[in-house]
A and B are shown apart, each in its own frame.
Chain A
Amino acid sequence: MRLGIPVLDEVLGEIPIGKSLTYYIDPEVEGDIFAMQTLFSNLNKHKCVFMTTSMNPSSVRAKFKEYGWDVEESENFSIIDAYSGYVGDTSDERYFVTDPSNLKEIDQVILKSTEENDLIVIDSLSTLIDMCGEVALDYAEKWNKYAKINDSVIIYNFVAWPYEENVSEKIKSLSNAVIEVGGIHHRVILGQYYGVVKIDWKDTERKLILFKIVKPGGVKAYIPKILVTGPYNAGKSTFVHAISTRAVSVDRLGTTVALDHGHVEYKGFSIDVFGTPGQERFDPILKLLGGEALGVILIVDSTKPEDFPRAKHMLEMTAKSGLPYVVAANKKDLPSALNVDEIRKKMALPDEIPIIPCSALKKEGVYEVLEALLNLLTGG
């Protein structure tokens, strides 16, 4: 049985029969789709059941359909309706929990569904905890045993609202594998990622993958964009080449006339780095590029304070909506280079903006610049 999630299928391989997995979801991120995608990926070959606690079965089917997954057509698909009873409705579903606040009844239904199905998705364990109390976690341990006995796989969605710490810890220890679905928290959520927190059937390194949700299609991994900008001759192209494992520039008469494009693997992220041309005639594209970037590195030549106003202007264009940014004070090795405090004062930058001295030519300090920006993005 596979997860059906990009990259994770390659990293985790098949889910062994009898195992349990939790999608541990940031409450501000669209994470419920992961379990749905896993279910649909296995529907051709396996009998799958989806337990709903927060929407009626028609809405469940409609939601699958939104992503281009027509579950109605499949005989392998069924629903545990643990919602309708809550609002006083009856149900025609194959599995029906008349009283969703009654864990004993839920337990019996789940036992039956593990006997009759290969994959059980519980959406969501957090709603069960909210409705029935933390004792739901004790039942979840029983459900894992049912899955093991009956050669099924059980997958939980858990929305990580601010529960007591013991609840969060117990959730993470409950399953054989935990996939974190999180957000890049800035003033708003700027991006979403997923990654393996725990897996007990394979050795794997922690890797974070940024994703978008597309309709139809579901979870799609994508590579984020970091913009490197700054005045003419500040060292942008050199910087892009210095941090990238591979990079391409298009120059004419010794200056960049198209975007520098590099790629860097860092701290589990794969990142595309785009360096903008410094000349003013290329300014219109800065606003366009900023709209899709996760963050901005502003390169300034530490020896040329007369270029700082231009640097600020470029920053304003690309970071108009408040994207996080750091300042790389390049050419720090030159004798006339200003220090960080002097640069901060001349550019009138607030104290909380990191200014990192570097020499792109000598590849000194360049990863500290990247680290500073990623720390702003990930809160690390």
Chain B
Amino acid sequence: MESIEYGSNIIVITSSISAKASFIRKIIAEAEGNTGSIYVTTRDTAEEVLDKYKNNNVELRVIDCVSRLAIPDLADSESIRRISSPIDLAGISTAINKFLEEYFRKGKKVILIFDSLSNLLIYSNIKRILRFLHVLTIRIKMAKAKAFYIVDKEACDEKSLIMLKQLFNGVIEIKEEDNKRIVKLITPNIRKEWEEPLKNMF
């Protein structure tokens, strides 16, 4: 993933939970050092995310779109911004920008992980999501950050997937079959496909 340039917005398409988890772990590992991470979660709580990566030497900020659905008055913290619901795309946008500004003023590069777009589609129609992503992808480009947007292939219809792909300047597709993990990476400058045995995590 190091070969992907900063300023890129990459859509990551997979139907395997384990592949997704492995991929994100690799991205977080890459973020060690003078890089900050922003994790937008639409499924796990912020605490679950922070716990997963507590052993990585990475500065992590979490935008939690889940917890306040159950507990509306859960407080924010220095590393967590909670959004009232996944419908509140403006809330997600401003939270991302606040963390981008924080890292910018610290002089850090930024990696953003958006987990996941398919969960957002449960709450909003594709047009609404596309408008949101149009603004976000431009911001990522201007901020010279790197962003990975996870999509669960099983939870997204083909038409929406085609429309989504058009907004991104790179695609990673991860499939698991015959005890192998097949990864395809396509950006304007890179075209790679490789296999990994399933036991060999990213």
Give the interface of A toward B (CB within 8 A). 25, 27-32, 53-56, 58-63, 65-66, 83, 86-87, 124, 126-127, 130-131, 159, 161-163, 183, 185, 187-190, 291, 320-322
Contact = CB atoms under 8 A, between A and B. Distances in A.
Name which of A55, A56, A320 has the most chain B CB atoms within 10 A of its CB: A55
A88 to B, nearest CB: 12
Contact of A28 (B69, B97, B105, B128): B97
A7 to B, nearest CB: 22
Contacts of A124: 90
Interface string B79-110: 00000110111110110011011001111000
Interface stretch (B9-17, B40-48, B112-120, B139-147): B139-147
B134 interface: yes
Given A130-B128, A291-B105, A321-B105, A54 B135 contact: no
B25 interface: no
Nearest to B92: A27
Contacts of B69: 56
A54 B88 contact: yes
Contacts of B105: 291, 321
Contacts of B93: 27-28
A349 B185 CA distance: 37
B106 A321 contact: yes
A224 B88 CA distance: 29
Contacts of A58: 72-73
A69 B13 CA distance: 43
A56 B85 contact: yes
In order of increasing CB-CB distance, the 4 nearest A-B pairs are A55-B84, A62-B73, A59-B84, A58-B72
Contact of B101 (A131, A161, A190): A190
Contacts of B97: 28-29, 183, 188-189
Given A187-B142, A188-B104, A322-B104, A63 B84 contact: yes
Nearest to A292: B105
What class of interface size applies to chain B in its complex with A? Answer: 20 to 34
A214 to B, nearest CB: 13
Of B85, B100, B144, most buried by chain A (CB within 10 Å of CB) is B85
Contacts of B89: 27, 54
B72 A62 contact: yes
B131 interface: yes
A62 B132 CA distance: 25
B124 interface: yes
14 contacts: A27-B132, A27-B135, A32-B90, A32-B91, A55-B84, A59-B85, A61-B72, A87-B123, A127-B87, A161-B132, A183-B97, A187-B104, A291-B105, A321-B105
Contacts of A163: 131
Interface in B49-79: 68-69, 72-73
Contacts of A183: 97
B166 interface: no
A66 B132 CA distance: 26
A55 B131 contact: no
Contacts of B68: 55, 59, 62
B175 interface: no
A30 B72 CA distance: 19
Contact of B131 (A28, A162, A185): A162
B90 A159 contact: yes
A139 to B, nearest CB: 18
B85 A161 contact: no
Given A83-B87, A183-B97, A322-B107, 5 more contacts: A30-B98, A55-B84, A83-B85, A189-B101, A321-B106
Contacts of B26: none
A188 B100 contact: yes
Nearest to A126: B90
Given A54-B84, A56-B85, A291-B105, A161 B72 contact: no
A86 to B, nearest CB: 8
Contact of A162 (B104, B107, B134, B144): B134
Contacts of A291: 105
B90 A59 contact: no
Nearest to B99: A188
A124 B91 CA distance: 12
